[in-house]
Structure 1
């Protein structure tokens, strides 16, 4: 497993999935990069790159420093947050640099992410420094669940995250303009802690068929030769 193509292929797979499900395939291709911007989960930069033939493309940057300390579904919500910025750049009317306006906020809600300057219910929906939280059962939540039912994850994690295993910072969240904010939802599992990624691989002990699902599922194999064997965590 080569690290570079694996890491970027996973992000491209997620981008293509969310583009198809949440944006009806409207978004153009972009260049996804990994950038360690301090206290920033990700950012969007329009027409940032150009090739030798003069073709320009946007950049969506993801900060790998936090891949190991946030659930996969939360990390991927950052990707969709930046995809909303891409949508607004190509099809809407962005405000001044760094300002998140009402059009952006309404599109965020449409795809299933609630804009909030605090990262919690009741926060301001528009403003200069904005984050979001996932709307439970909303379009993003369902689309992400569909993606995570496949053998999908973010395979490569930074060994030196910006917090210790014991730290759980509260309040604040993502600021895609690079301003300093507190980081929320730090859930890096230490030795012996349970997997909190919301997906577990199960295997039939008889035929070795594997499936992915939520933790603590009770699954029986339907193969006649297995006689209803109970799946076990792989």
Structure 2
């Protein structure tokens, strides 16, 4: 019997194994993949975070934030996983920067596997720094590995019904700006704010167009490239 726990974590583990083979030549040791709702982060890497009670072996943690699974593209979820895998590679085979700093060695490795580090998540951003995003390089190893993974039917099955509000940042032609919750009708609940005016701000997660209205509204974006994406309530 496949339970939600088994299904959700097996999907992340299968993606980790796939990228470990195609991008890291199987050199990354096994880690413990967790789901953590940390504020303002898609995921994180924590070296030797776990200890086995009997064997006394250490294990790294790669945490993924499920609060974003319904409101960012599947490509961005996979970018986050590989981003953290690059941190794991640097911990075991390189020299990590000071806590929270993404240094040149990490940036070079990211670029080598097909993800360009960028402080703005797009071209022109800084390659190193404290808070870093990335974007796929056209024709790079990451996109080749991802196309292979998606071609075999990979997908994230379980989505948080009450996700956070974000602006999509993917610049790849694959699923760029697509909201995974689109088409699920009222099953995905957007966050709402209570205020005296009984009006809240809505924002398209793809093009960032905004509108104001009652908390009970369900608005769809009319942008040509937004595929009628549901507007998300913005917490201010």
TM-score w.r.t. length of structure 1: 0.72
Alignment of 1:28-47 (within 5 A): 28-47=29-48
> What residue in structure 1 maps to residue 203 of structure 2?
none
Q: CA deviation at 1:188?
A: 4.2
1:126 aligns with 2:128: yes
Alignment of 1:6-85 (within 5 A): 6-52=7-53, 53-85=55-87
> What residue in structure 2 maps to residue 138 of structure 1?
140
SS of the aligned residue for 2:33 comes to strand
CA distance in structure 2 between the partners assigned to 1:113 and 1:171 by the alignment: 14
Which of 160, 166, 169 is residue 167 of structure 2 equivalent to?
169
1:50-79 residue CA offsets vs partner (Å, 9 max, x unmatched): 011210000000001111112212211100
The verdict on how the C-alpha distance between 1:192 and 1:35 changes in structure 2, with shifts beyond 3 A counting, is: closer
CA distance in structure 2 between the partners assigned to 1:171 and 1:155 by the alignment: 21
The verdict on how the C-alpha distance between 1:186 and 1:73 changes in structure 2, with shifts beyond 3 A counting, is: closer
Q: Alignment RMSD, CA only?
A: 2.0
Quick one: higher RCO (CA 8 Å, sep 6+), 1 or 2?
1
Contact 1:72 1:154 in 2 (8 A): yes
1:64-120 residue CA offsets vs partner (Å, 9 max, x unmatched): 111111221221110000000000000000111001110000000011110011111
Question: Following superposition, which runs of at least 4 residues in structure 1 exceed 3 angstroms of deviation?
Answer: 188-193
CA distance in structure 2 between the partners assigned to 1:155 and 1:113 by the alignment: 25
Contact 1:65 1:160 in 2 (8 A): yes
CA distance in structure 1 between the partners assigned to 2:148 and 2:168 by the alignment: 29
1:187-224 residue CA offsets vs partner (Å, 9 max, x unmatched): 2443489xxxxxxxxxxxxxxxxxxxxxxxxxxxxxxx
> What residue in structure 2 maps to residue 190 of structure 1?
182
The verdict on how the C-alpha distance between 1:192 and 1:61 changes in structure 2, with shifts beyond 3 A counting, is: closer
